[in-house]
Structure formats: C-alpha cells, structure tokens
Amino acid sequence: MRISTLPQLAPGETELGTVYASVEGVNDRSYDECLHELEEKAHKLGATGLVGLQLVQSQFQWNQRTSLLATAVKSTS
C-alpha cells in the first residue's frame, strides 16, 4: 500500500474517502498499531494507498492517544 503525507494523487488514482484510526498511548508501538488499524480500514474500502496522512498525538495526563487521518485512494490502472 502506498502511504504518503503528500495530498497529491498519483496518475490513475481516485479518492475513496477519509479513514481515521485512534489507539491509546503515545509511543512508537502505539503509532504502529494505529497505522495498522488505518491500513485495515482502507483495505476494507478497496484502497491501494493512503495520501495526506496526518498524525495527532495527544498527551493529556488522563488521555494519551495516537490518531491518524488520511484519504484512502484506489489505483484505477
């Protein structure tokens, strides 16, 4: 799966929609878990890539979370 922080679509790609994932924790493991969850959601939509990936890590004392948001895209070629 192609994953990019850039918002541009590659030639032959179509947007499928926005996908979002969030897990507890703010560390490397939580980021990897969140990315895995995001990829699973995108695959269910039939996506072949994620563009415009955005990371939010909140470190409030009572609620540490890692969240990822991206646009799922599908290659039409």
Whether 7 has a pLDDT exceeding 90, the answer reads no
The predicted structure's pLDDT at residue 60: 79
Place of tokens 């499928």: 16
Whether 8 has a pLDDT exceeding 90, the answer reads no
- Per-residue model confidence as pLDDT tens digits over 11-28: 999 999 999 999 999 988
Domain ranges, ordered by start, for the chain = 2-75
Name the CATH superfamily, with its identifier, for domain 2-75.
Hypothetical protein apc22750. Chain B (3.30.110.70)
Q: Is 46 helix (H, G, I), strand (E, B) or coil?
A: coil
What's the pTM?
A: 0.85
Place of tokens 């995108």: 42
- Per-residue model confidence as pLDDT tens digits over 24-55: 999 889 999 999 999 999 999 999 999 999 99
Distance in angstroms (rounded) separating the CA atoms of residues 16 and 44? 11
